[in-house]
Structure 1
Amino acid sequence: MILIFGGAYQGKLDYAKKNFEIETVCDCSDGAAPDFTADAIYGIDGFVKRCACNRASSTGSDQLPPEAADWFDERREAWRDKILIMTDVSQGIVPMEPELRAFREMNGRLMLQLAAEADEVHRVFCGMGKRVK
């Protein structure tokens, strides 16, 4: 698996298309669950945000939405040969809203897990990528 990360609007998808053989892309920016039949999964942070906000809004419920890292862990074999692209939201001012802080933390936990398991990790800044693993 290859993990590509970077800040918002830094050209991560263009970088991936230019440097790797990608025919199909699943865009999760709107919060949709990743479709691992695509070659690349883009906007994973959108799915993570949906998980975090659902979890925050369902306090007191026995059926909490999944932790994004656990959800990915349960589907490990499906994304082993994919290119995963996500936004690093760890920089900047910490949000005041509890659900946005929860999203930021959940996104970081998933990035840690994916980076540890990745064969390659690339960071993209201003459209330029650098392999960091």
Structure 2
Amino acid sequence: MHFVTGGAFHGKAKWVQQHYSASRIDEGWFNSYEKAGWETGDFTTSLVVLEGLEQLVKKVVEKNESGGRTALQKKLQTWLAWEASEPGRCLVLIGTDIGKGIVPMEKENRLWRDVTGWFYQDVVMAAERVDVIWYGLPQTLK
């Protein structure tokens, strides 16, 4: 699994398209900003890109405030199992870093921010590769 993170509008998606040859990704690119439904893990291509990971976290937190992190860890295990089930499969997760800046005043937004940070830690631990994209420039962390 490959995790790509960085600030909003810093070029994460563009970098992934260039890194993974856009023609290979067309059918396997799922963007949570535009539509939902990719959370199930029923993928039909060998390369899958899940963009907008923080939006999935927000949905999970809204549904299950106290057990959100556990639900997300189960989702991550499902994705990892999918990737490992056949040779050649590759999962790329793209998530915006929402942990910097001013701490939100609203309890639900603070919880979303916290759970996103914890989930990203889980994702980084499970990932084979981690890149941060700032202003279009990649930095490989792992």
- How does the TM-score come out when normalised to structure 1? 0.82
Q: After alignment, is 46-55 or 8-17 more displaced?
A: 46-55
Tell me the equivalent position of 1:71: 75
Question: C-alpha displacement at 1:75, in angstroms?
Answer: 4.1
Structure 1 residue ranges (4+ consecutive) displaced by more than 4 angstroms after TM superposition: none
Q: 1:127 corresponds to which letter in structure 2? A: G
Tell me the equivalent position of 2:59: 50
Question: C-alpha displacement at 1:74, in angstroms?
Answer: 4.1
- In structure 1, what is the Cα distance between the partners aligned to 2:49 and 2:9? 17
Secondary structure at the counterpart of residue 107 of structure 1: helix
Tell me the equivalent position of 2:16: 16
Q: How does 1:84-95 map to 2 (within 5 A)?
A: 84-95=93-104
Q: How many residues align?
A: 127
Identity percentage over the alignment? 22
- In structure 2, what is the Cα distance between the partners aligned to 1:105 and 1:73? 20
- How does the TM-score come out when normalised to structure 2? 0.77
Secondary structure at the counterpart of residue 25 of structure 2: coil
Secondary structure at the counterpart of residue 67 of structure 1: helix
The verdict on how the C-alpha distance between 1:94 and 1:7 changes in structure 2, with shifts beyond 3 A counting, is same
- In structure 1, what is the Cα distance between the partners aligned to 2:94 and 2:113? 16
- In structure 1, what is the Cα distance between the partners aligned to 2:32 and 2:118? 18
Tell me the equivalent position of 1:129: 138
- In structure 1, what is the Cα distance between the partners aligned to 2:12 and 2:34? 17
* Higher helix proportion (structure 1 or 2): 2
Secondary structure at the counterpart of residue 105 of structure 2: coil
Q: 1:9 corresponds to which letter in structure 2? A: F
Question: C-alpha displacement at 1:30, in angstroms?
Answer: 5.5
Tell me the equivalent position of 1:105: 114
The verdict on how the C-alpha distance between 1:55 and 1:30 changes in structure 2, with shifts beyond 3 A counting, is farther
- In structure 2, what is the Cα distance between the partners aligned to 1:9 and 1:88? 11
